[in-house]
Each structure stands twice: as structure tokens, then as C-alpha cells.
């Protein structure tokens, strides 16, 4: 995995530099998220491994799938991924049509295809997000709560985290009823466990020590 991240880094850097300079970070992030899902599909992986299919054909296939999904006026599976991806800040609904891949994105895909690097798109996406977080001083906070957060709770939590970390915080929310009550928050390698389950586990450890 580390080797794949290393290979993906220069492509992610080039993509992010362009997107940042031209204020199209969201557009590129949308594409990379969907493209990552497509190239991870077993059928598409099989096509990538087929030497009878040219690099140009592979690139066109990926762009076509993206365009077909996002420009639809229906809530397609991959477009819904954009709206359901936790922390993906956007307005509108999943059935709203989105722009097709720009010429610059298409050129990027063709370059990856020519260098047989389309399979690296999941790693490119992750590296792209890291560059975005660094440039925009954003951090990802993964919040798992026993019950869905209310709007007031969400806003208060976001405000406190931004104050503590001096950065813009993107919340990624999940629900786990087994926590009983409370929540856990993971930021980087730091885990804050304020759940009842966590406190009970800690108490049990203390009692058996």
C-alpha cells in the first residue's frame, strides 16, 4: 500500500495543483471519488488487465462511465455516492445533473492510461484529499455516535473541534447503537472515546487490574 501511495503521489500533486490554482477542487474531487470506485470494480479491473484494449479505449471508457452517471437527471448509483459520502459538502439532491468531465480531467485520465496507472486512482484520490486538507487547513473528524447527531449537536461539535485544532473540520458521521450513548471521535491517529460502551470497558479494565 505504501508503494502504491508513493507511485500515486506525483499524479495527485499535479491534479491538486491544477485544481487549486483554477478553483476547481470540488470538481476534481468528485471525479476522483467516482473514478476510484469504477476502477476498483472487478469488471473494470479485468478490462484494465486486457492487453487487447488500448490505453485510449480504457481512458474513454472511464470518462464515459463518469459522464453517464453524473449528467443523469436520476439518482444513479455513483452519483449518489457523491451525496452520501460523509463529509462531502454540497447542495442540491442526488438526482440533480452535474457537469461532465472537463477537458483537463479527460487529459489527466488519458495520461494515466498511457502510463498504465489508472489502477492507482484510489490512491490518487486519497493523496489528493491530503493535499487539499493541507492547503486549506482542513482535517477529517470521523464521528461515530449511538444515535444520529442533531443539527445543534453537529454544529457545536464542529465548532469545538475547529477551535481545538485551529483548522476547518469536515465531519464524517456514522451511527453505532452498540455504543449505548455518547460518541467516539477519530482524527488522524487520535481517538476520543466518550461513549458509554467505552467507559464501561474502561471500568471493567480497572476492576480486573
pTM metric for this prediction: 0.65
User: Given pLDDT bands bounded at 50, 70 and 90, which one contains residue 52?
Assistant: very high
Rounded CA gap, 208 and 202, in Å?
10
What residue ranges define each of the domains in the chain, with the CATH number in brackets?
2-134 (1.10.520.20), 138-208 (3.40.30)
pLDDT > 90 in the chain, percent: 39
Work out the average pLDDT over 160-175.
84
Q: What pLDDT shows up at residue 33?
A: 93
Q: What pLDDT shows up at residue 182?
A: 83
Which long-range CB contacts under 8 A does 70-75 form with residues at least 24 apart? 70/30, 70/34, 70/97, 70/98, 70/99, 70/100, 71/97, 71/98, 71/99, 71/100, 72/97, 73/97
Query: Exposed/middle/buried for 19, CB within 10 Å: 0-12, 13-18, 19+?
Result: buried
Rounded CA gap, 109 and 193, in Å?
41
Rounded CA gap, 148 and 195, in Å?
14
- Of 169 and 67, the structure prediction assigns the larger pLDDT to 67
Amino acid at each position: 500500500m505504501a508503494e502504491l501511495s508513493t507511485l500515486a503521489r506525483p499524479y495527485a500533486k499535479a491534479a491538486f495543483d491544477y485544481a487549486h490554482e483554477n478553483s476547481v477542487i470540488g470538481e476534481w474531487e468528485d471525479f476522483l471519488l467516482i473514478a476510484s470506485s469504477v476502477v476498483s470494480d472487478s469488471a473494470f479491473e479485468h478490462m484494465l488487465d486486457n492487453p487487447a484494449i488500448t490505453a485510449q479505449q480504457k481512458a474513454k471508457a472511464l470518462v464515459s462511465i463518469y459522464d453517464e452517471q453524473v449528467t443523469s437527471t436520476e439518482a444513479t448509483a455513483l452519483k449518489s455516492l457523491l451525496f452520501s459520502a460523509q463529509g462531502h459538502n454540497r447542495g442540491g439532491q442526488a438526482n440533480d445533473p452535474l457537469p461532465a468531465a472537463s477537458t483537463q480531467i479527460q487529459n489527466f485520465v488519458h495520461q494515466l492510461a498511457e502510463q498504465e496507472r489508472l489502477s492507482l486512482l484510489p490512491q490518487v484520490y486519497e493523496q489528493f484529499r491530503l493535499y487539499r486538507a493541507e492547503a486549506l487547513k482542513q482535517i477529517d473528524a470521523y464521528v461515530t455516535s449511538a444515535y444520529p447527531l442533531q443539527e445543534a449537536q453537529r454544529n457545536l461539535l464542529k465548532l469545538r473541534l475547529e477551535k481545538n485544532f485551529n483548522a476547518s473540520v469536515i465531519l464524517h458521521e456514522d451511527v453505532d447503537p452498540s455504543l449505548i450513548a455518547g460518541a467516539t471521535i477519530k482524527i488522524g491517529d487520535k481517538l476520543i472515546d466518550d461513549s458509554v460502551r467505552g467507559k464501561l470497558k474502561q471500568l471493567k479494565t480497572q476492576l480486573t487490574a
